[in-house]
Structure 1
């Protein structure tokens, strides 16, 4: 091979001459000599892998991790390269390393799952915005301008712009305002409304309550809504406290049996226990 041909095959200064090493490597059986030569070839091409990794600096991943990913791609290229095909190793290794880095971003860097089509739209939109920025220093490029430059539809550009904010997420504890009075994302989240459970309880026992005698309904109302003690209820109705206690127990037992009678006979014990609690709590809140 002439000097000129060798230069054409090695397009960068960090592309070493390893044709002889690859030819020797292809004929070696697995063993210490082959592993040592393989490590030597990988080390010789590492500057190229580091250069490629540097092109993806500033995209949310540390340069050290990018170099490791690029090194993994380089090792795969070395193991899979076949010198008998006549192609230069560099022309095979560069796409392999770039593909490994892009795969890393696609599979490990997104905070949420994003379809590949959306990821590609995001990358094209990101590149278009970066290229158009010098010509629009006073404003952000418009959707139509990005679409024309990136050769995308305006809808795809809007999807890509939304995906730009999906690459990383904020913690729920992250403050949304400066200062000590700033609130976090978790402060804006809703909580379960226990009032909905009360609605179910009330509706479940309402028909049974309507069928109770007036005195039993009055006792339930005084006990659970007026928060009166059994002795105060007894004085109010002119009966003994023991009688009030028996009436309260009897009312709750009757309501419980009536509510349970409407459930599926094949219900499990846990469901029956829940219905029992519903009857008791519903009687307390719906009398």
Structure 2
């Protein structure tokens, strides 16, 4: 659902364009606190819309109501800093502020030890290095040896990373050594805007990602396909593969780490 459709569904909160212009004028020229409150209430549904979109990419234990609370701070800041004289829609400006506020708050609440984050980055880097050298995806045994770890220790690390994974929407992903880095936010489409350059960037990223997925080990490829394309849960995928849900979680985490290592690596790896 687009924001315009969402806003039409909350027509009671929406104001006429002329009334909005008057509210902006009263607030910006006279610092009218009542006008400010009216503006915040008018655009409050935008926070719910953004929080709902973001919540679908976060773990199940993250409450949407918490995201709305974080996003309201971003909306208030957007109202305070917005310049109605610029040729920019307030909604476009506010979305970035709301998303940023939610992401900042989630990061401040991050419960994951730095050692886990560092180990995740180390596995990503080592996986990309080994794949570039071997011209294929490294096995668990090869990765564990390269990291100076026992196989059981490596698999325990994968499980720990899996249990602490949150995808940051502003995390940068490099599509190639010479390309500009993209963030996940950059790849989320906006039906109100048609920008050929953005469409090209998204197309390149999707093609690169599809190529990287095609080079995953078979079981990891199946997990990615069933999880992201068919919408199966980890438990359902475990039933399909005949393994435990925990094992599927490990396969999923390894696939994501391999993909991140490839997309962030300096060179591309030829397919076997």
Q: What TM-score, normalized by structure 1, do the two folds share?
A: 0.39
Q: Which has the higher contact order (CA 8 A, sep 6+)?
A: 2
Please tell me whether Structure 1 or Structure 2 has the larger radius of gyration of its CA atoms.
1
